[in-house]
Amino acid sequence: MAGRVLRETWEEQWRVGILEQSASELVSRPEASRIQWLPPRRHGYHADPFGQPGDDGLILAEAYDYSERLGYLVAIDRDGRERTVLREPFHLSFPQIIEHQGQRWLLPEAKAAGLVRLYRPDPWPERFVPGPVLIEELAAADPTLYRDEQGFWLFAGDGAGQDETTLVLYHAPDLLGPWRPHPMNPIKVDLGSARPAGPLFQTGGRLWRPAQDCRDTYGGAIVLNEVLTLSPDLYAERPGPLLRPDPAGPCPHGLHTLTPFGDGFLVDGKREFRSMRRLAAGLRSLARG
């Protein structure tokens, strides 16, 4: 019990930054010291930043209030100013933007709802409303869409088990389905390189899948996995370069999202600190449970 109470004294604050490295530079020599950090959010944090392809101004992110402890989605600018674009009665994060047949869609993590759902803008990008459900009864952690000549792919941490360790894959001929689980599921079980950390990207004729390295802590670093085989029957990848947090920077304790933005990438970094507010909330939770 004492150990559980001690763990409850620690709080996390995530912060959005812009990594000024091209994709080719990133895979050859990742450098967290080149991250330009946006202002921190008061009484909470911003995490899981995504930009709109071709637009280096719009940033969608998770907003988290320490008092409420429920994530929702906001649009932020480089000064950290925000406006809410989507709230649900359950936790939301990881707001990936997809364009398909002239329509923009938003795919957030809604693991707590137990399904994978698209949201459509109404209007873009002021707010989003529920759209079609892609996959029922899947508690998908950080669901990540990728499209190639074979159709659409969806990578996700398996929230029904250990989502930091177990990676599952789904495939469909079209964005709206039908979606089918990959016959090799789970395609990976590894605490150091399974859970998604952002969209897949290509550089130098190679395909890379960012993932979280959670061996030391949740979201401790970002590993770039080189995808070797991606087909409806087979999947293979191997871990490659590792983007570690800058120990001398303002977020020395973790990095867990990497998404394309302009000529570089958006990232988020973690700072851990002791919090009496967190301790009080944790003690209440332990008393109930």
Domain ranges for the chain: 2-288
Quick one: pLDDT at residue 287? 61
Q: In 3D, which of 7, 93, 115, 89 has the Cα closest to residue 46?
A: 93
Residue ranges, the chain, pLDDT below 50: 1-5
The C-alpha atoms of residue 142 and residue 147 are separated, in whole angstroms, by 16
Quick one: pLDDT at residue 56? 61
Could you tell me which CATH number the domain at 2-288 has?
Answer: 2.115.10
Is there a contact between 157 and 164 (Cβ–Cβ < 8 Å)?
yes
SS (H, E, C) the chain: CHHHHHHCCEEEEEEEEEECCCHHHHHHCCCHHHEEECCCCCCEEEEEEEEECCEEEEEEEEEEECCCCCCEEEEECCCCCEEEEECCCCCCEEEEEEEECCEEEEEEECHHHCCEEEEEECCCCCCEEEEEEEECCCCEEEEEEEEECCEEEEEEEECCCCCCCEEEEEEECCCCCCCEECCCCCCEECCCCCCECCCCEEECCEEEEEEEECCCCCCCEEEEEEEEEECCCCEEEEEEEEECCCCCCCCCCEEEEEEEECCEEEEEEEEEEECHHHHHHHHHHHHHC
Quick one: pLDDT at residue 5? 46
Is there a contact between 157 and 163 (Cβ–Cβ < 8 Å)?
yes
Q: In 3D, which of 244, 253, 194 has the Cα closest to residue 14?
A: 253
Cα-flanking dihedrals φ and ψ of residue 24, to 5°? Answer: -65, -40
Count of CB atoms situated within 10 Å of the CB of 200: 19
2-50 residue pLDDT tens: 444 455 678 899 999 999 999 999 999 999 999 999 999 999 999 999 9
210-220 residue pLDDT tens: 999 999 999 99
* CA 130 to chain CA mean position, Å: 20
List Cβ neighbours of 161 (8 Å cut-off, separation of 6 or more): none
Quick one: pLDDT at residue 10? 81
Q: How many residues does the chain have?
A: 289
Dmax (CA) of the chain: 55
Quick one: pLDDT at residue 1? 43
Q: Which residues pair with 84 in a beta bridge?
A: 74
